[in-house]
Amino acid sequence: MKSAPRRTLLAACLATLAALTTLAAPLAAQAQAYPAKPIKIVVPYPPGGGTDILGRLVAAKLQEAWSQPVTVENKTGASGVLGNDMVAKSAPDGYTVLLAITAIVQSPALMKLPYDPYKDLLPVSQLATSSSMLAVRADMPVNTVAEYVALVKSQPGKHAYGSYGNGTSSHIQGENFKHLTKTDLAHVPYKGSAPMLNDLLGGQLSSAFVDASSGRSFIVSGKLKVLASTGTERQDLAPKAPTFHELNMPGFEPRGWFGFFLPAGTPAAVVAKLSGELQRITKQPDVVKRIDDLGLDPVGSTPEAFGAVVKKDGALYAKLIKDLNIRVD
């Protein structure tokens, strides 16, 4: 015969199991029913840019697959912070989705944020990646990084590189390049890629870190030549240019990326369902072609794989920003 304490313990365990089952039932039902209402993709940048184009491409595909309205809302301001914050503070039910870029893991080391990207947001799927390339005008008398460094050192105070703005990836890459090569390149920040590329082509800059999407047409047409690229593999756009990794220059391993996030607390089954659909969409031939046309590489990853990228890149950028004394003001 079982003792009273054992019977009491068994009863308590059964009660706990029943409570957990009761609690899990609504969550499972919620995930199974998802999506049961319209979904909103928040793009924290203006309409017409690469992030916006990707967001609308995926929104159309999700709407087609799930027969639910999927809209894109451009919540701009503060270099993406306003849109990121909006999603971080949204209901964790899978109906407000963020499409963010690499800046989301760079911002914590550059400014005080109203949210924590690592605690308040969940990685869902990495959509696409892009390399940055150290580019010079086609008529520059250099063809390698070593030749460019030699030219800059032979003409002190006469060379400048351009970036998309203070605190951007191109700024971080430019300062890291200066540090590793011990050159006195001046930094000229711009508000976006168009004015920077105009000045690079016009001769006001001798180099710039250009992302593949913005620089693609100028590289293909031969107006710009690439000396090296970020990442660990050479780019199809400039296959003859080595990576900085090949040149034994550390800190250039990360590629820029676009990826989807949900608010922390979103049921795991909902995260998995959205991620699975995004992975499927990213592999569709017409989506692959559209992403490739933008100068990007499609990915489509699991939450775990994307989470590892977020964590790794965030740690590397935090160290670079601190060590190089990068500031946004």
- The answer on pLDDT for 3 being more than 70 is no
pLDDT tens, position by position, 178-187:
999 999 999 9
121-154 pLDDT, tens digit each: 999 999 999 999 999 999 999 999 999 999 999 9
Which pLDDT score is estimated for 12?
Answer: 56
Q: Compute the Cα dihedral for 16, 19, 23, 25 and give only its sign.
A: positive
Q: Quick one: pLDDT at residue 106?
A: 98
253-262 mean pLDDT: 97
- CB within 8 A of 249, min separation 6: which ones? 176, 177, 180, 228
Instruction: Return the bridge partners of 135, or none.
Output: 208, 226
Computed over its alpha carbons, how large is the radius of gyration of the chain? 24
Whole-model pTM: value is 0.89
CATH number belonging to the domain at 38-130+255-323, selected among 1.10.510.10, 3.20.10.10, 3.40.190.150, 3.40.1030.10: 3.40.190.150
Q: Buried (b) or exposed (e) across 14-35, using 16+ Cβ within 10 A?
A: eeeeeeeeeeeeeeeeebeebb
Q: Are strands 160-163 and 207-211 parallel, antiparallel or unpaired?
A: parallel
pLDDT number for residue 123? 98
Confidence of residue 98 (pLDDT cuts 50, 70, 90): very high
Listed in order, the ranges of the chain carrying CATH 3.40.190.10 are 132-229
CATH code of domain 132-229: 3.40.190.10
Cite the residue boundaries of each domain of the chain with CATH code 3.40.190.150.
38-130+255-323
Percent of the chain with pLDDT over 90: 87
